[in-house]
């Protein structure tokens, strides 16, 4: 029941603070979800490390790049790299032409950054291992949590189409908005209450 209450708390926080632009605030909120349940993320994933070094001396002692979260699949031990940006992060930039939009510079920068983290993690894999907690980096999945879809693309067909096509075309990075994530949390709460 404690996990259910945690999920209800984070949904309440989302409803009250969806306009908060503080990335550290959202990192703490998302950590609650990652520790309890994982809507949008495979159920077998578990939080392995927050603010993880993916290039440097070790997974904890960094002289390189720092990912917001690494989640380890408890069965395969393979990791998922998670990068978060606040809900106020723009998803799309200006229209290019003929009703097609490009990703915002903030979101495309996050995609580029997480792919860099993936590259560094694979490159420095051996030196990042901890003796007591091993992980694998078999073509790790990547996820960016950013933006507020309903607020930024409210029923605007050409914007929704552009965003959907762009994010679905990315084979290496899954992108999910905060409102989509918290909708999944609300669905999970309903299932748990039945």
In the predicted model, is pLDDT for residue 148 greater than 70? yes
List Cβ neighbours of 128 (8 Å cut-off, separation of 6 or more).
Answer: 53, 54, 56, 58, 59, 121
The whole-number pLDDT of residue 182 equals: 92
Whole-model pTM above 0.85?
Answer: no
List Cβ neighbours of 130 (8 Å cut-off, separation of 6 or more).
Answer: 58, 59, 60
φ, ψ for residue 55, nearest 5 deg? -160, 120
Any bridge partners for residue 174, and if so which? 143
The whole-number pLDDT of residue 96 equals: 75
Q: Confidence class of residue 13 from pLDDT cuts 50, 70 and 90?
A: very high
In the predicted model, is pLDDT for residue 130 greater than 90? no
Any bridge partners for residue 176, and if so which? 145
Instruction: Kindly report, residue by residue over 44-92, the tens digit of the pLDDT.
Output: 344 444 455 555 555 455 555 677 888 877 788 788 889 999 999 999 9
The whole-number pLDDT of residue 38 equals: 43
In the chain, at which residue ranges do the beta strands (DSSP E only) sit? 45-53, 66-73, 78-84, 92-97, 100-103, 136-145, 173-176
Token pair for 36: 């309890």
Q: Confidence class of residue 42 from pLDDT cuts 50, 70 and 90?
A: very low
Region 151-159 average pLDDT: 88
* Residue-averaged pLDDT of the chain: 80
Q: Which of 13-17, 117-121, 148-152, 178-182 has the lowest mean pLDDT?
A: 117-121
The whole-number pLDDT of residue 139 equals: 84
Instruction: Kindly report, residue by residue over 94-108, the tens digit of the pLDDT.
Output: 887 788 999 999 999
**Separation in Å, CA 28 to CA 32, 58, 76:** 7, 23, 26
């Amino acid at each position: 029941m404690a996990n259910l209450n945690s999920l209800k708390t984070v949904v309440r926080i989302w409803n009250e603070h969806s306009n908060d632009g503080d990335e550290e605030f959202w990192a703490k909120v998302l950590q609650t979800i990652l520790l309890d349940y994982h809507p949008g993320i495979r159920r077998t994933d578990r939080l392995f490390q927050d603010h993880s070094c993916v290039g440097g001396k070790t997974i904890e002692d960094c002289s390189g790049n720092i990912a917001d979260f690494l989640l380890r699949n408890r069965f395969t031990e393979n990791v998922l790299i998670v990068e978060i940006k606040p809900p106020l992060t723009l998803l799309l930039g200006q229209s290019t032409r003929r009703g097609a939009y490009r990703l915002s510079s903030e979101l495309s920068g996050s995609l580029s950054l997480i792919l860099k983290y993936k590259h560094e993690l694979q490159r420095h894999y051996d030196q990042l291992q901890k003796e007591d907690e091993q992980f694998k980096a078999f073509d790790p999945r990547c996820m960016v949590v950013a933006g507020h879809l309903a607020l930024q693309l409210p029923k605007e067909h050409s914007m929704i189409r552009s965003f959907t096509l762009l994010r679905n075309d990315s084979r290496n990075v899954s992108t999910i908005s905060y409102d989509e994530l918290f909708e999944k949390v609300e669905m999970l709460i309903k299932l748990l209450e039945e």
